[in-house]
Structure 1
Amino acid sequence: MTLLSRRRLLATLSLATAGFPLLGFSAVPVPEKGHKALLPPKLKAGDTVGLICPAGAAFSKETVLVTKESLEALGLKVKLGNHVFDRHGYLAGTDQARAEDVNAMFADKSVQGILAIHGGWGCARLLPLLDYKMIQKNPKALIGYSDITALLVAIYAKTGLVTFHGPVGAATWNQFTVDSFKQVLFEGGATTFQNPVERGDNLTVTNDRITTLTPGTARGRLVGGNLTVLTAIIGSAYLPDWKDKILFLEDTNENVYRVDRMLTQLKLAGVLDQVKGVVFGKCSDCGPGNGGYGSLTLEEVLEQHLQPLHVPAFSGAMIGHITHKFTVPVGAEAEIDATAGTIRLLQGAVV
């Protein structure tokens, strides 16, 4: 066969196969621009929540027990995933086992919500193994933060299902966290997220302060989560269209230069130039590292990256690796006020 003949044959084969879809779960198309979000049913007393470990292992059975008792105190029943206590190095079992628990909980008609017990690392490894078509047909609330960001964002991107950046099972179930959890997932109203403004015996508020980076208000769908996890899957097929979104971010235990590097990556990938507003939550233990006083501060890095966008932006929201946290719906329509430091849902995130 001549070179010309080979080229003609390859071209013919390419045209002939172009119409065939790729096989596998991940072939579900990303919802089209303007796609109406798919809302999960709200939780109520008597509902069953499935507990899974899609990332780090459940090293402590007591932690799982505390999670179970905390949910039961909310009037919920609990069902453990088949592989909750599996171990595969630092992972909670093999990729196949952990993905099996995610898929099984969505498919299980007796389960109304799904809560991750731990973050850690490993959720991104599951993304090609999830049954997105089945998940789309069985909408239910998926809740977690940190490494769970990969699941939250990918499932929203692939199915349109609103997911929830909120506490994991091993989190502290204090009154602030529980109130936010219940407002969003039980009551389902158009919640407004606002930091506490308690002064104690001080002349002004000293804890959980809001810093306005660029004043103003903006509306769009909330999308985001852990900065490290998001940047780790940039360029993959598991992220949504960023145009006109409200980006929210958080992280922990990252030196300032690393935060700078990851925000630079979001800038170079075109993400920051598309969003309508930015909320940077908490970056716990994010100090200068070995740079010492020669380092840029976190405040300077945020100013350098976010102020040139000329969109409303603020930092300090109760989102992150903190004991008192908001439950923020990924994919819900919201309005942010960067001057007041608030996030207001335009409608409930559950039905």
Structure 2
Amino acid sequence: MMNGTAITRRGALVGIGGGLCALPALGAVARGKPPITTQDMVRPPRLRNGDVLGLVAPAGFVADRFGLDEIGATVRAMGLEPRFSPHLTARDGYLAGSDEVRAKDLTAMFADESVRAIMAVRGGWGSARLLPLLDFAAIRKAPKLFAGFSDNTALCLALAHNGVASIHGPTAATSWPPSSWESFRQVAFEGALASYSVPAYAGPNLFGRGPAVKIFHRGKARGRLLGGNLAVLSALVGTPWLPDFDGAILFLEETNEAEYRIDRMLTQLALSGILGKVAGVIFGQCTHCENPDGGYSNLTVYEVMDRRFAALGVPAFQGLMIGHVAGQVSVPVGVMAEMDADAGTLRLLEPAVV
């Protein structure tokens, strides 16, 4: 994808010491955790009209106060009240303030009992840097719905590793066409057992309309829904923050990556053993995933996927509206789901919220 102190729910300080110097000790603790199963997952409360939505910047910043005005208007159009964290427009290079500042803002939102749910304002890069600075045990005891995508995949996966469901879906600054809003509303407000399908393709061909699904291996599968941005997921391999992918349905999305880079990241997932564990694979959208210098000798991104996923022998397809695309859907992370590669569909078997 090209593109020091934490606060518990009750407000008490937990020692982070000098910030990054605490990484090894925290990592060692996380490695001792037993794998979380679907039976261990906790689901945060659903959203209701009038609820307060906490807005955070775990990675990149909002350019100016006018961007905040637009975000606030979007949240109010959802029937929610925006609560801005203090450092959304802060800048530390490409980050919205230091790691400690961003972690403190996020932790404060989890701690604020008047905040019902939390949404990232944007992605970028930097969410993974916060993982050792967050108290996931406290979050699990009083869970809140977190929503975001792209770089925010790091937080969704870390929450799943700690047994808390979240949503991989639009950020607050993303365009929100009706289809995206309806998908988020069903999952976050209604707790619906939503279904997702590859949109029909209307093109200038002899047979008119036809499915845009690309099937790499046919069949159906059930499993825990885990995944997100490919680059972020592959970068977390070898860290203590990834959930157990045994029997999972792996969903992926990516943007602005050349075909050979997609190949490299999928190879990383294969060599690490993750691809060999999953029950099925869904690749959503790979937006602008072409090498401009590729030429006719290059593999297409779909050939890369086909060669990698067909060999797994599990159901696998591409085409759901997951990722960097207008009209993207909201997909829960950590809940049970069923996929049908032949039909190009995904169906939730349990809600993301209670």
**Same fold, TM-score > 0.5, yes or no:** yes
> How many angstroms apart in 2 are the aligned matches of 1:311 and 1:25?
33
Instruction: Tell me the equivalent position of 2:114.
Output: 110
Which consecutive residues of structure 1, in runs of 5 or more, have no partner in the other structure?
1-21
Instruction: Tell me the equivalent position of 1:167.
Output: 170
Query: Deviation digits for residues 156-208 of structure 1, max 9, x if unmatched?
Result: 10x210011000111111101001000101111111112333648975337x8
Query: Deviation digits for residues 210-259 of structure 1, max 9, x if unmatched?
Result: 11111110000000000001111110000011100000000000000000
Choose which of 211, 234, 237 in structure 2 pairs with 1:234: 237
Please, which moves more after superposition, 75-84 or 277-286?
Answer: 75-84
Choose which of 302, 310, 313 in structure 2 pairs with 1:310: 313
Residue identity opposite 1:100 in structure 2: K
Please, which moves more after superposition, 288-297 or 165-174?
Answer: 288-297
Please, which moves more after superposition, 32-41 or 242-251?
Answer: 32-41
Instruction: Tell me the equivalent position of 1:219.
Output: 222
Percentage of identical aligned residues: 46
Alignment of 1:60-71 (within 5 A): 60-71=64-75
> How many angstroms apart in 2 are the aligned matches of 1:48 and 1:136?
20
Residue identity opposite 2:84 in structure 1: L
Query: Retained in 1: the 8 A contact 2:225–2:335?
Result: yes
Choose which of 63, 66, 82 in structure 2 pairs with 1:78: 82
Residue identity opposite 2:118 in structure 1: I
Secondary structure of the residue aligned to 1:344 is: strand
Instruction: Tell me the equivalent position of 2:41.
Output: 37
C-alpha spacing 1:189/1:114, structure 2 compared with 1 (3 Å): same
Query: Deviation digits for residues 263-322 of structure 1, max 9, x if unmatched?
Result: 001000000000000000101000133222111111111111000100000001100101
Residue identity opposite 2:101 in structure 1: A
Instruction: Tell me the equivalent position of 2:212.
Output: 209
> How many angstroms apart in 2 are the aligned matches of 1:119 and 1:348?
25
Query: Retained in 2: the 8 A contact 1:35–1:160?
Result: no
Which consecutive residues of structure 2, in runs of 5 or more, have no partner in the other structure?
1-23
Choose which of 123, 128, 132 in structure 2 pairs with 1:124: 128
Secondary structure of the residue aligned to 2:93 is: coil
Instruction: Tell me the equivalent position of 1:301.
Output: 304
> How many angstroms apart in 2 are the aligned matches of 1:60 and 1:312?
45
**Offset at 1:55?**
0.2
| TM-score for both structures, normalised by structure 1 | 0.89
Instruction: Tell me the equivalent position of 2:181.
Output: 178
Query: Retained in 2: the 8 A contact 1:26–1:129?
Result: no
Query: Retained in 1: the 8 A contact 2:213–2:317?
Result: yes
**Offset at 1:30?**
4.8
Query: Retained in 2: the 8 A contact 1:54–1:122?
Result: yes
Instruction: Tell me the equivalent position of 2:103.
Output: 99
| TM-score for both structures, normalised by structure 2 | 0.89
**Offset at 1:113?**
0.7
Residue 276 of structure 1 pairs with residue 279 of structure 2 = yes
Query: Retained in 1: the 8 A contact 2:51–2:115?
Result: yes
Which protein has the larger Cα radius of gyration, Structure 1 or Structure 2? 1
Q: What value does the CA root-mean-square deviation take over the aligned residues?
A: 1.8
Choose which of 26, 29, 48 in structure 2 pairs with 1:27: 29
Number of equivalenced pairs: 328
Query: Retained in 2: the 8 A contact 1:51–1:116?
Result: yes
Secondary structure of the residue aligned to 2:293 is: helix
Query: Retained in 2: the 8 A contact 1:64–1:117?
Result: no
> How many angstroms apart in 2 are the aligned matches of 1:240 and 1:42?
23
Instruction: Tell me the equivalent position of 2:144.
Output: 140
Instruction: Tell me the equivalent position of 1:331.
Output: 334
Query: Retained in 1: the 8 A contact 2:216–2:306?
Result: yes
